[in-house]
Amino acid sequence: METRFLKTFLSVVDSNSIAAAARKENLTPSAVVQRLRALEGEIGAALVQRAGHSTRATEAGLAILDTARRLVEAAESMPGLVNQNEEVGTIRVGVIHSMITGLLPDILSSMMAGRPGIQVEVLPGQSSDIYVKLGEGSLDAAIIVEPPFAIPKTLAWHELRKDPLIVLTSTTESENDPLALLKQAPFIRYDRKHWGGRPGELYLRRIRLNPKEKYELDSLEAIAVLVNRGLGISLVPDWLPPWPENLSLRKLPLKDAPSRGVGIMFPRLSSNERLVRAFAEEARIAAKQKEASLARSR
């Protein structure tokens, strides 16, 4: 049985899409379908089925899902087992959207230059969803917002940076007092259900302030665009650049406001531990260099 066919099957299930799996695997959609049909022929049952606009695992597909993941993981870790003194293999890393543009390119560039034997597969997503996948074993590491609960001792956590809360306004806004703006101006809320939106929600509760809420969005980039259009102000973490281009914004700092911690999390014990710790080391170095670069530009 071809493990690459199993990997393609997992890509389809994880993305719920033939087309998305094809892009991830660098294949044509027809090649993905051919691999699925070959795998189904070997197993003797249909593994995926259409469900509206999505492609989902059948009952038979769900039955083999965990075993398929273990087989693919074992196959990908074999080069590292053979080359004990070399950093060779593939790791899967979940990354929140703001860090995909803000820090991940620095990490991957450093990995390519200094640790070319480690291949990194990136899964974008929200912190809570990525955390679940890490716990399920479908990811080797995660760059996420610090969880709003105690981190299990089985997981290592290294903070990469703090994103302080700021009040975000357009440059056309003349008021300079951030608290006055939070009391008076239309408010665009960063989704309080997100881990990244919780510090803002807790801060507003602490100062007993109920803004005039107009919108609640789960995208920091979208919030920045709406603020730029003069549709309101927002309370957001000052995330790493690049921000959306051609915006005219002001960032007003808040006294005694909390920050959101962003860091890297990974299991303390895993088959890819050596590779994951190498990635974590590069992430910490990249974060320090990024912070130093931002400090020089201020």
Q: Quick one: tokens of 244?
A: 């959306």
**Closest listed residue to residue 235, CA positions, set 202, 263, 265:** 202
CA distance 148 to 144: 12
Residue 166, pLDDT > 80, answer: yes
- The per-residue pLDDT for range 240-273, each reduced to its tens digit, is 999 999 999 999 999 888 999 999 999 998 888 8
Matching residue, tokens 């001792």: 153
Q: Are residues 173 and 292 in the same domain?
A: yes
Average pLDDT of the segment spanning 187-204 = 95
Residue 86, pLDDT > 90, answer: no
Residue 207, pLDDT > 60, answer: yes
Domain count, the chain: 2
248 class by beta-carbon count within 10 Å (0-12 exposed, 13-18 middle, 19+ buried):
exposed
Average pLDDT of the segment spanning 59-78 = 84
Q: Are residues 114 and 244 in the same domain?
A: yes
Q: Are residues 59 and 149 in the same domain?
A: no
| Domain end position, chosen among 49, 67, 82 | 82
Per DSSP bridges, beta strands 233-237 and 155-170 are antiparallel
Q: Quick one: tokens of 143?
A: 């760059």
Local confidence band at 288 (pLDDT 50, 70, 90 cut-offs)? very high
**pTM of the entire structure?**
0.73
Residues 137/90, Cβ–Cβ less than 8 Å: no
Q: Kindly state the helix (H) or strand (E) to which residue 228 belongs, with its residue range.
A: helix 220-228
CA distance 213 to 216: 8
Question: Side chain identity at 161, as an amino acid letter?
Answer: R
Q: Are residues 112 and 130 in the same domain?
A: yes
Query: What is the span of the domain harbouring residue 22?
Result: 1-82
CATH of residue 154: 3.40.190.290
Q: Which residue has the higher pLDDT, 37 or 1?
A: 37
Average pLDDT, the chain: 92
Q: Are residues 67 and 137 in the same domain?
A: no
Local confidence band at 76 (pLDDT 50, 70, 90 cut-offs)? confident
Local confidence band at 153 (pLDDT 50, 70, 90 cut-offs)? very high
Least confident of 16-25, 166-175, 251-260: 16-25
**Closest listed residue to residue 202, CA positions, set 213, 215, 189, 214:** 189
